[in-house]
A and B are shown apart, each in its own frame.
Chain A
């Protein structure tokens, strides 16, 4: 169980009791954004009883933030992001295998298996690089979050996994001994080169007490070069027997048959048998050495040599005893077993051999890495995974991800949790990643590989990525692009929001995409970025939201007048075109939006002095039934204002007739008690005027229109050409 302590502490050490007696305790709220908590001191007694407690509370009421997980930092972040690329490649590879063919092994799909091995080796190489990087004795600005030893452990475990479970194509059923020994030699170097250097610097190295143990180790590890070098030094030894035996042993070591040297296992076995004959004859010669000359002043050389020959003979007891004497562990015996005792040892036979060895040489239960190695050697993959999760949740997740398609892990979904083993580990890793909200993209990648439950959790992560509604590029994302996964990278307005939407689209998280768009629309609406607000509401198919945005745009006119209104509609106009093309975007709000755009256009023209065009707009809005009835009062007053502003004839006689007809309708309806249907907006623009006042205003509009009509008629009767708009408008 982890323990978190507040820093700085709420009270002095040992004052816990006093803290509790003061009627307080801790409470916490969990962040939806990551695995952090906000922790604070609060009452632990009935609120009413608080005042009765004669305790002075500190005046400072702080809220602490704490994280359940160790938030990735420094090299760890790099490790996470870089290995996520390999993970993604692995997922892509799995996608190419149809669900029916998930059993890669039974399909013998060599190409896929080969690619899996390559990706597994990528993990191996990457952890090695991290280990090397973390081992560098440099002064670091940011200290490492995990030390070199940690990455080394990951490296040894991953590479052992590849040796045992992802052999090269054609080697699945080949003897494994040499590969195990190679793994041991790479990761657990014995004997050390310092020991070798120390011995080789001596003229009579056998006089050193480390000579024979060193030589024995090099033989056991198959390091024939080092073995032969020191055997050659024995040519200077006083014993002719030893000189002779060393001379005969060297070529035997050098000619130890290696599987890799043979094209068939049969040839290898034949060569091994012949080689064993040579060892046997060496043993005979060794036995012929008289007992009284079997030692020198420094050691009982015969016994050591006999031990070495025992190793070559593959004597189980000898190898085991030597390993115990040399302080080696079960791994050493296991690897030597496959080289010397049973050179045809198969991967599938390893668990039996390992359990036999471990009976008296058990792995170290305090060393988690050793326990993981033991589980891998023993074929206990679930055990390896549960231990790996303790070492590093990263390892367990990536292993489980590889093990399932290799059929090393039960892919079935557990009835209780409704998750497969792989999903459990990958979800646990994703939960850890979630401790850093900046890693949301990677967190989602991992979650989305975990079935419906993982995808649903991914939605929650996606929904809670905070985005800055202030667009850097200032571009308005058009509806179609938003729906198809946000703006393309070619566009310069790529923000976090569009990245979230693109991710939703990529993983087909449609409901999350709609919700993110809907919230974005709400944010943009608040900031009066109407164009963006409509785009996102439309892409969420949130039509009532679009309606509300249009209402807000029209309210701009009421609250802030025509200039502010025309300005706020600028970004909306291009979207109208898009919306009209949308199959589901029908209904009243589109109509209202169209009106808002046209009405803003009218004001822009009017403000620019283009009164003729403005007058055309005004009439068209009424004739084409674009203007909602609630706006008629405003429009009719606008028409009158236009006439006042310009002495020229802006409206044709028929146009004026149209306007007067509408005016008449408003008056009749008002008389019938439905005035608010036509006048509500006008009343609002008149700062809460009554219907009567609004009608009064309309009466002056009627006067202006009537005058204009009279003038038109007069000019028309005189036979003079009517200036202004084209006839028929």
Chain B
């Protein structure tokens, strides 16, 4: 397919789309909208498959985000909504029989803004961020039972959550040889950690304490001067250190890096000079032309997509000198 001729997928959503997520194989697209539905489309060779896709109805308010679970758990989607609920959906067998709501989580007192599945190594665990200022962590067990940890995270409200990779950054440097037909070597226990972004202008890092069996606030990343709209922890494939990207109402994107488990988080702001629509430098140095709403990393963690309120998506890459460059932009 020539990239110049992308074929749009007609979602038939009746109102604004708030999120779209591709599944593990990039073969299915889930979208959610103010029309209170979630839809799932098959994508074949980069193009939408014939047919209208499937509509998942269950929410009673706008649906903000969707998240695909790891395929080892089957075809499972999580969605969160203004209605304060998180719904878990499972595709029924055969696939033609559609999707069924298998769980409903309604422990939040206000809109749930973000959902994120933990790395599969940790099990089927979902973190949810709500306007009630709390974060909830749902753990699904093999027997169909589930548990929930709900705790205060950010006063006023919590906008986003993102999990740390299960293996520590830099773990590649001394790889353990794996021999076929031998049991997998004992690895260090996977890291149970995530970041949350809040209306209190900070990002918090939460770690699970095996000792107390509770989530403990490990770090507070201070740097934004307004609401933090999104947070994205980079996959650490081939990255020697940990990276977190945050997007804020203050029109900045900060990249937080941590060189080692004991090192502090160091922040760098993306410099959007030259990407404003008029080509003119931004009104304030280091600031995007408008609020930055979303940030997301590519699979290898080397490309950051930034969605700004100026109508553009920009793609950023770290150059070999450690600086960040805008490599591409997408306009409507």
Contact = CB atoms under 8 A, between A and B. Distances in A.
B331 A456 contact: no
A414 B320 contact: yes
Interface in B148-181: 172-173, 175, 177-181
B31 A60 contact: no
Interface string B224-251: 0000000000000110100000000000
Given A25-B312, A66-B330, A38 B29 contact: yes
24 contacts: A1-B275, A2-B328, A2-B329, A3-B330, A4-B328, A6-B331, A8-B8, A20-B290, A25-B310, A29-B22, A36-B26, A40-B31, A47-B82, A50-B16, A59-B14, A62-B8, A65-B7, A65-B43, A68-B315, A69-B3, A70-B3, A431-B302, A463-B24, A548-B142
B122 interface: no
A139 B94 CA distance: 47
A44 interface: yes
B4 interface: yes
A127 to B, nearest CB: 24
A456 B238 contact: yes
Interface string A495-531: 0000000000100101101110011001100111000
Interface in A1-18: 1-11, 16
A61 interface: yes
Contact of A71 (B3, B22, B173): B3
How many of chain B's residues touch chain A, expressed as a range? Answer: 35 or more
B15 A26 contact: no
Contact of B300 (A41, A460, A518): A460
A382 to B, nearest CB: 11
A357 B283 CA distance: 47
Interface stretch (B100-108, B206-214, B261-269, B291-299): B291-299
Question: Chain B CB within 10 Å — which of A26, A71, A437, A452 has the most?
Answer: A26
A466 B27 contact: yes
Interface in A27-86: 27-45, 47, 50, 57, 59-71, 73
A91 to B, nearest CB: 19
B1 interface: yes
Contact of B332 (A9, A60, A424): A9
Given A68-B303, A456-B238, A541-B184, A39 B178 contact: no
A453 B172 contact: yes
Contacts of B312: 25-26
Interface string B2-20: 1111111111111111111
B263 to A, nearest CB: 15
Question: Chain B CB within 10 Å — which of A4, A8, A459, A518 has the most?
Answer: A4
Contact of B47 (A10, A44, A65, A414): A65
B121 to A, nearest CB: 10
Given A26-B307, A44-B293, A7 B180 contact: no
A261 interface: no
A25 B180 contact: no
Contacts of B4: 7
B50 interface: no
A126 interface: no
A417 B313 contact: no
A196 B286 CA distance: 62
A26 B313 contact: yes
B74 interface: yes
Contacts of B13: 61
A325 interface: no
B277 A16 contact: yes
A431 B303 CA distance: 11
Given A3-B331, A59-B14, A418-B173, A65 B9 contact: yes
Question: Chain B CB within 10 Å — which of A1, A27, A511 has the most?
Answer: A27
A464 interface: yes
B331 A522 contact: no
Interface string A477-510: 0000001100000000000000000000100101
A417 B240 contact: yes
B238 A6 contact: no
B223 interface: no
Q: Interface majority SS on A: helix, strand, loop or mixed?
A: mixed
Contact of B17 (A61, A454, A460, A514): A61
Nearest to B297: A30
Interface of B: 1-22, 24-27, 29, 31, 33-34, 41, 43, 46-47, 62, 64, 71-74, 82, 93, 142, 172-173, 175, 177-181, 183-184, 237-238, 240, 275, 277, 290-291, 293-294, 296-300, 302-303, 305, 307-313, 315, 320-322, 326-332
A460 B72 CA distance: 15
A541 B180 CA distance: 11
B305 A28 contact: yes
Interface string A409-423: 000001011100000
How many of chain A's residues touch chain B, expressed as a range? Answer: 35 or more
Nearest to B91: A526
Contact of A20 (B6, B177, B302, B310): B310
Nearest to A505: B180
Contact of A29 (B20, B142, B238, B303): B20
A422 B310 CA distance: 38
A576 B330 CA distance: 55
B170 to A, nearest CB: 8
Nearest to A31: B26
Given A20-B309, A43-B16, 13 more contacts: A2-B327, A19-B332, A26-B332, A29-B21, A29-B22, A30-B305, A42-B18, A44-B311, A73-B2, A427-B238, A510-B178, A511-B178, A522-B71
Contacts of A460: 237, 299-300
Contacts of A519: 71-72
Nearest to B328: A2
A295 B219 CA distance: 90
A481 to B, nearest CB: 12
A696 to B, nearest CB: 29
A44 B93 CA distance: 38
A39 B240 CA distance: 30
A584 interface: yes
Contacts of B305: 28-30, 37
Nearest to A38: B20
A24 interface: yes
Given A65-B47, A508-B178, A42 B72 contact: no
